[in-house]
Amino acid sequence: MINYFYRAAALLAGAHALLADGPQFQDPVRIEVEGEPIAIAGGYTFPAMVDLDGDKRLDLVVGYYRGAGMLFYKNIGTSESPSYAPARSLMVNGEPLVVPGVGP
């Protein structure tokens, strides 16, 4: 029992050290397009940064729950200082992409 206690204490101490040295985040900022914060009506959004068009600048891709679609915001700035074009729906064979199994 005592050995278990010491092991648990060592694990907690290790977890505390990981938290102290873990990732450091800046304050959140609103991402804007043409001077207005992005607002997506689909709810439960799932943003990701990816170079979707292969121009070596990270774009913003946002999936959303209601409608199960995905929006593409092309980065027209740089990866270090991004600026985004208005959203376009991701399309498949001329139709808006819909993620199966997502949505109400």
Nearer to Ca ion, 59 or 62 (CB): 59
Closest CA to 86 of 96, 72, 100, 99: 72
Closest approach, Cβ 85 to Ca ion, in A, equals: 10
Least distance CB 51 / Ca ion (angstroms): 4
In the complex, the smallest distance separating the C-beta of residue 83 from Ca ion, rounded to whole angstroms, is 12
Pairing mode, strands 70-73 and 88-89? antiparallel
Cα Rg of the chain (Å, integer): 20
d(CA 31, CA 76): 13
Nearer to Ca ion, 61 or 99 (CB): 61
Q: In the complex, which residues of this chain contact Ca ion (CB under 5 A)?
A: 51, 53, 55, 57, 59
